[in-house]
Structure 1
């Protein structure tokens, strides 16, 4: 596995631990369709959160959230609705929200973590 892929996987692991610790229930990870991939699908209260995780060793090439631009958010909305259609038993009656977690640091386990909620 390439170093970039290992960094991303470690960041997703950290993000899942964080989300679980603050009360989210993770329903799916790395869900794929022909439109793309969702890093994490989680539920909290009456919300279904589709969470994009971006991990960087440093901010030298920009903050991780800069990669979650309007185009990426549109794609995440499409993926969120595709996931909800494929998993109606988990999505029915829930408000869908798009969220992002950015992690910066050479070690994702201890790097700085930021969580943006509801990027609608």
Structure 2
């Protein structure tokens, strides 16, 4: 595993912990759909299915992690959510929501984890 993928995995672990701490149930991590892409975290928030993109950045010169979802990425997440639903028995009664968790790892101090609901 290279440093970049290790950083991403660490950020996803922090994000999953944040989601479960807020009462959500993590159903799956790193769900892949062929060449279409990957959903970082699939979770349930009550009767809502949540497709969650995780962006992890080290403190410094990179853009803030919450700025990391372009309109194209948002559309890809919606498409992946549809495929996940098709493979897992249909949409839940509460529908589907796309969230973003941004993880910022400062050079000193604790990681900062931000959760934005319904970003796309």
Q: Same fold (TM over 0.5)?
A: yes
Matched with 1:14 is 14
Gaps of 5+ in 1: none
Higher helix share: 1
Equivalent residue number for residue 82 of structure 1: 83
Q: What are structure 2's unaligned runs of at least 5 residues?
A: none
Q: Deviations over 1:74-107 (max 9, x none)?
A: 0000000100110116x43231010000011158
- Following the alignment from structure 1 to structure 2, what is the Cα–Cα distance between the partners of residues 5 and 106? 18
TM, length-normalised to structure 1: 0.91
4+ runs deviating over 2 angstroms: 91-94
Residues 83-102 of structure 1 aligned to structure 2 (within 5 Å): 83-88=84-89, 91-102=91-102
Q: TM-score, normalised by structure 2?
A: 0.91
How many aligned positions are there? 118
